[in-house]
């Protein structure tokens, strides 16, 4: 999975988690409001019964009123305690929502930077002294990705081999490149992990990974030990329509 795919996945998961926490926060606020309202009603009823108690002369009725008053007092206390615990939980949820929102901002920025890195501005220096001016615009953009995003260096653009190679065509549709991450570049290009390039865009793609190749927009696998396989053991050959 490419960096861009990983960041997109992280953004999606964080957004889902953030939405869940916002919903939980809102539910907690509603429940706290209900508990506060219930406690207030219980205390109001208790005060009303206290007024009745002052006027009541029958001892049995007074004892019954006292029991009801105590019950309303207990209900109010229980609701207040429950509201207190829920407010503590609400504080945790509010913090998590703030943290999730900040993380979403950071992930969006990182995704933007990753896309910019995978779509760098083409420049002549990226050809490493080879015939940059012969490249098509699409090939220039891909070379910029190989050099800037994958730390590769160009080893060939236009070459006269007399074999009908695409290197002999001008304008030239691609290039050869090498470097420690040339196989990563080859695989990401082959499997559509480079923004703007799919399998159907690949005129030719050969390299150290025999299975991650393409020919005329179709999957291609090089036979181990074949001439074309040995020729591309030490570099990636990428040509695009």
The DSSP symbol for 86 reads H
| pTM for the whole structure | 0.58
Q: What would the pLDDT profile of 171-229 be if each residue is shown by its tens digit?
A: 999 999 999 999 999 999 999 989 889 999 999 999 999 999 999 999 999 999 999 99
Instruction: Check the CA dihedral 22-27-31-33 and report its sign.
Output: positive
Q: Encoding tokens for residue 174?
A: 């691609």
Q: Are 199 and 219 in contact (CB under 8 A)?
A: yes
**Which position has the higher pLDDT, 3 or 213?**
213
Q: Are 229 and 213 in contact (CB under 8 A)?
A: no
State how far the Cα of 159 lies from the Cα of 165, in Å rounded to an integer: 8
Phi-psi sector, 85: left (phi>0), alpha (psi -120 to 50), beta: alpha
Burial class (CB in 10 A: 0-12, 13-18, 19+), 139: buried
136 upstream amide cis, omega within 30 of 0? no
Over the Cα atoms of the chain, what is R_g? 35
Average pLDDT score, the chain:
93
Q: What would the pLDDT profile of 136-181 be if each residue is shown by its tens digit?
A: 999 999 999 999 989 999 999 998 876 788 999 999 999 999 999 9
């Amino acid at each position: 999975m490419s960096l861009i795919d990983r960041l997109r996945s992280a953004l999606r998961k964080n957004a889902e988690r953030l939405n869940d926490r916002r919903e939980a926060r809102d539910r907690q606020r509603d429940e706290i409001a209900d508990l506060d309202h219930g406690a207030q009603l219980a205390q109001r009823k208790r005060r009303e019964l206290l007024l009745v108690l002052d006027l009541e002369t029958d001892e049995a009725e007074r004892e019954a009123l006292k029991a009801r008053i105590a019950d309303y007092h207990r209900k109010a206390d229980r609701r207040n305690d429950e509201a207190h615990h829920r407010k503590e939980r609400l504080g945790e949820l509010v913090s998590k929502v703030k943290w999730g929102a900040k993380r979403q901002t950071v992930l969006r920025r990182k995704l933007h930077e990753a896309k910019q890195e995978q779509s760098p501005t083409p420049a002549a220096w990226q050809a490493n002294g080879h015939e940059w001016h012969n490249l098509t615009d699409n090939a220039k953009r891909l070379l910029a990705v190989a050099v800037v995003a994958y730390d590769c260096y160009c080893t060939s653009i236009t070459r006269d081999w007399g074999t009908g190679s695409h290197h002999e065509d001008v304008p030239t549709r691609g290039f050869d490149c090498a470097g420690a991450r040339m196989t990563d570049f080859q695989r990401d290009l082959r499997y559509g992990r480079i923004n703007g390039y799919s399998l159907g865009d690949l005129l030719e793609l050969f390299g150290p990974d025999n299975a991650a190749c393409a020919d005329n927009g179709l999957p291609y696998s090089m036979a181990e030990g074949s001439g074309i396989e040995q020729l591309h053991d030490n570099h990636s050959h990428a040509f695009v329509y």
